[in-house]
Amino acid sequence: MNLDSLSKYAPVALAVLRIVTALLFLEHGTQKLFDFPPSEHHVTGGLPPMVLFEGLIETIGGLLVLIGLFTRYAAFIMSGEMAVAFWTAHVPHAGSIFPIVNGGGEAVLYCFIFLYFFFAGAGLWSVDAIRSRGGQAADARG
């Protein structure tokens, strides 16, 4: 079986990965800032500054990556946020560097997906693609 023919779908796969990842990440920010979706861990009486900062990065960055605007910049910042979260929250909390033990698997995965977006860019179906083509809509060939 020759799977090389699937390569023509790589631009579409990148766009879908970007959109789905951004939607999932955006939920983390809106949950911190607006308690939506509702969480049993909601903080009342104001958020600690670090949680507020995280929520802003996750919400604003998530929206930017979702629509594909300034994707590389937003992805770089969000990748860094996830690296910091892993080393400052997950590792010390569990006393282990292993994500399966410290619950940091999601942070590691987000970190590297956003790092990939930093290098790959937004791809199809993005404001960045439209801007780079001088206002012309991006076509399916990338």
115 lies in some domain? yes
Q: Which pLDDT score is estimated for 135?
A: 56
Measured from the Cβ of residue 38, the count of other Cβ atoms closer than 10 Å reads: 8
Output the pLDDT for position 136: 54
Q: What is the distance between the alpha carbons of residues 26 and 126, in angstroms, rounded to a whole number?
A: 17
Which residue type sits at 142?
G
Q: Specify the pLDDT at position 123.
A: 96
pTM: 0.89
Residue 138 forms part of a structural domain:
no
43-47, 101-105, 122-126: range with lowest mean pLDDT:
43-47
Domain that holds residue 78: 9-132
- Number of domains into which the chain is organized: 1
Residue 78, both tokens: 């969000």
The string of pLDDT tens digits covering residues 6-53 is: 999 999 999 999 999 999 999 999 999 999 999 887 666 788 999 999
Amino acid at 1: M
The structure tokens listed for 35 are 């308690």
- Confirm whether 142 is domain-assigned: no
Distance between CA atoms of residues 96 and 100, nearest Å: 9
